[in-house]
Structure 1
Amino acid sequence: MKRTITATAAVLGILVLGACSVTASANRTVGAEQIAEEAEGALEEQVGQRPDIDCGDDQVDLVDGEVVDCELTDPTTGDEYDTTVTLSDVDGTNFNIDVQVAQEAND
């Protein structure tokens, strides 16, 4: 499977993602763990350090515009940040992602 990934994030030390939930449908799906892994890799390429991202364990519909809510944990500070991963250019099991990380850590 070929994946093209783009990442956009506010960098505070490193970036963090949160828990995601998505409902299943007749569309092709992928595990939220895979979405988290793809987002971690994209952010690592961008900032040079791999964050820990948790998007839950549900299945995510592979459709353009699908938004997955996640939580990113900064590996150096332990701070947690709300993060969204948006799917685009979905073609079968190929897709792009855009990662947005909150600028401020969760309380």
Structure 2
Amino acid sequence: MPANARSNAVLTTESKVTIRGQTTIPAPVREALKLKPGLDSIHYEILPGGQVFMCRLGDEQEDHTMNAFLRFLDADIQNNPQKTRPFDIQQGKKLIAGMDVNIDDEIGDDE
């Protein structure tokens, strides 16, 4: 057990980091967090002393970056309505012509 491990842990487990910087979340951790592969996301917080807190990212947790961006857009539209114009669907179709996209595909770490 690492020297900086928490003494009040209910369960301890380990995993290796691959050469690509990835790891498999051990089954006991997935079960404890009730993670559904392919559906759920994980939230990490880096704590002082090199520890990391990890929890399941639930629907009730907010994406602060996305919320800040949406507030920015809202303020810009409110403050500059003259710059708002309808989206040209034909131009949009030209932009994506020839693209093969599956919106259900996972986005890898290298993309």
The TM-score bracket by the shorter chain reads under 0.3
Higher strand fraction (1 or 2): 1
More helix by share: 2
Structure with bigger RCO (C-alpha 8 Å, 6+ apart)? 1
